[in-house]
Amino acid sequence: MDKGCWKGTLVLVVVLVSTYAEASSSWHMDDFIKAVKQVEDGDPGSEPVAVLRRLRGAAGLNDAFIQHFLGNADSSGPEMNSNLSVYINRAVHHRVTEDAKEEGVVLTPDGTTVALAPLLLGIEAGLLSKTTGRVRGLYQLTLAKDLHSSPLTQHLGPDGCWDSVTSPQVFTLLDSPSMLTTAQVNGVMDGVVLGMEVSTKSRRPAKLSDLLMEYYCHQLESKGLDAAPRLISRRRRENFRGLVAPPVLARQVVKSVELWRTLKGRSKMDVKKGKQLMAVVKEGMKGFTHKYMDCPPFIPRCMWGAEPYRGTPTNLSLPLSFMFIHHTHTPGKPCLTFQQCSADMRSMQRFHQEDRGWNDIGYSFVAGSDGNIYEGRGWHWQGAHTLGHNSVGFGVSFIGNYAASLPSQHSMGLVRDQLASRAIGGGRLVANFTLQGHRQVVNTSCPGDALYNEIRGWEHYGEVEK
């Protein structure tokens, strides 16, 4: 169990005997799991489906579309504590305010933010399934429900940042909101993955709180994700990618629009409008697939606690032609949690700004062993990573010293395959870019002998021209 996620049974006992208002002081997945546990303890022996229906009732997730697949929300059972009911409603009811604050989302131990509504709807649909691997309404309830009015016609995202990662209260989007924020997509992916998992009778949990704890609170060991279980939140993208295909998602979105029209008493779309809608959805699905299925999860600067850039950044002229691979050397050990990786990023930034006198952390991006890519100077600001070559390439570093050992296979895959794919697809790297180790163009041992020998076998690796 992750150290940042519910420190043991003793803590749980203390929490449950304290007042609920004190136990739910922030919007963290820890707090939501505690709320679920309190609902379960208020009605001992209740099945997970019954708990989900009570949560859905408290949250007001009971419109005609949801009832079509899941039935009416359950208001029976013991009376719910008023503070608990208010908390659940606020935690699950999703909306984006005019000032770009996103509500109905929680911070998870892996550093990502998740909308709870699609997560819960997906799990409930899976538990109601009578056939393994076939879940009625799974994609309509998770992905398509909020897209019926304008499916995937706007830009996707954005992500956002919490006012505090230790006691998150307010989540603010980093750009103008679209029909589908990154937190919603995270909730969609988790809802689909867990919904499909529990559709198998042998994998149905005894308690909803146990399912959420196992999924969100797993503590990685020394080998990171290479030795981690399949069903954990850090693997949501690869699990989701393995379950769904873009054409299937596109059809489900169109079906949801048709269902909404039926439920509202409107006539069925004619063939021409149906084809036009499918064309729009298919085009939008390309961006969805690239951003959320092909690309790695990014932790933005504000989430790892970056200090401001000192001075005025120099903008890069994109697309670039090179990617330079580094290791940090110091910190010398891989980071396995969002908390430790963030601390390492802050430490490196302090060293680069205070000791070396640079304007910011030198790297463009940094790969942790927790399953995330951390934003350094990013796609647009020129870095300070590869002397004499900062204007022509991105500098990507792995946290740790890799003179004698390698980063995890998972973290190397994030950089080699997914980060490169995102860069090419977004017009940041040319398709035939050259990948090189730091030592190839600067007199240094970086990125370490072991890692350098590894990248020599990667696609796009290139020798320095004499």
Q: Which residue has the higher pLDDT, 287 or 365?
A: 365
Where is average pLDDT lowest: 70-74, 303-307, 461-465?
A: 461-465
Among 291, 242, 324, CA closest to 418:
291
Phi, psi of 391, deg, nearest 5: -85, -10
Sorted by sequence, the CB contacts under 8 Å of residue 264 that are 6+ apart come out as none
Radius of gyration of the chain (CA): 23
- The pLDDT tens digits of the residues spanning 331-347 come to 999 999 999 999 999 99
What burial class does residue 101 get, using C-beta atoms within 10 Å of its C-beta: 0-12 exposed, 13-18 middle, 19+ buried?
middle
Calpha distance 371→412 (Å, rounded): 10
Kindly provide the residue ranges of all beta strands, DSSP E only, lying in 38-94, ordered along the sequence: none
Arithmetic mean of pLDDT over the chain: 91
Calpha distance 396→203 (Å, rounded): 40
Q: Please give the CATH topology (third level) of the domain spanning 301-456.
A: Lysozyme-like (3.40.80)
Phi, psi of 274, deg, nearest 5: -60, -40
Token digits of residue 45: 């022996």
Q: Is the pTM of this model over 0.85?
A: yes
Q: Is the torsion defined by CA of 230, 233, 238, 239 positive or negative?
A: positive
pLDDT greater than 60 at residue 319: yes
Q: What is the domain partition of the chain in residue ranges?
A: 29-294, 301-456
Residue with tokens 């590869």: 386
pLDDT greater than 90 at residue 65: yes
Give me the pLDDT at residue 18, please. Answer: 43
- The pLDDT tens digits of the residues spanning 358-375 come to 999 999 999 999 999 999
Q: Which residue has the higher pLDDT, 172 or 289?
A: 172
